[in-house]
Structure 1
């Protein structure tokens, strides 16, 4: 896949994510999708398979009344693409870390995407 092909997949995925469109997100994912989330360098969530991803993505819809991820920088590393992300959201629930319902959340992070058969195979999120 070319850099442009990878970028189109990620931008399509992010557009669906920002629109709270789980079905749209799934269109860009390989059946064997792997997802990992790291906070402060520690693995906090991990799942495998499209069905598990769909379940988690649908559950996560309740967490934010609005959300937006924006890609601000792209770095190709071999077959993967590392993307610096700006994240903004409005919390729809109280979170265990002290964030309250209605609170505006903003942070920067990065996501590493891996690919197979013109789909996203793995997503590693770091914040």
Structure 2
């Protein structure tokens, strides 16, 4: 897959994510998509397939009143794009870790996107 195609898919995914557009995100995914979220070096969420991804994406919409991923940099190798991300979100609920409704969450992280047959096949988020 060409770099400009991978870049476009990543940009469309981030745009849909920022807009809470789960259907828009799903249209970009391979039917057997794997999603993993890593926090402090450990997997805390993993999904396999569109159905599981949709459940997590719908649930995560309820956590924030607003959220924005900003792409800082994209690097490529073969069918993989590594994306450095700045993340800002405003909480819609109190979290068990002590963060409260209305507080801003600011994170830096990276997302690694793998591609297959013109779709995103694996997403790995690291924070």
TM over 0.5: yes
Report what 1:118 is aligned to: 118
What SS is found at the alignment partner of 2:10? helix
Report what 2:25 is aligned to: 25
Where structure 2 has 5 or more consecutive residues not aligned to the other structure, the ranges are none
- What's the offset of the Cα at 1:79? 1.8
101-110 or 69-78, which deviates more: 69-78
Where structure 1 has 5 or more consecutive residues not aligned to the other structure, the ranges are none
Alpha-carbon distance between aligned partners in 1 of 2:61 and 2:42, rounded to the nearest angstrom = 23
TM-score (norm 2): 0.97
Matches within 5 A, 1:64-103: 64-103=64-103
- What's the offset of the Cα at 1:16? 0.5
Runs of 4+ deviating beyond 6 Å? none
2:79 and 2:116 in contact (8 A); partners too = no
Q: What's the RMSD between the two structures over aligned residues?
A: 0.7
Provide, for residues 47-92 of structure 1, a one-character-per-residue CA deviation record: whole Å limited to 9, x for no partner. Answer: 1000111111111110000000011011112321100000000000
What SS is found at the alignment partner of 2:108? strand
Alpha-carbon distance between aligned partners in 1 of 2:46 and 2:87, rounded to the nearest angstrom = 20
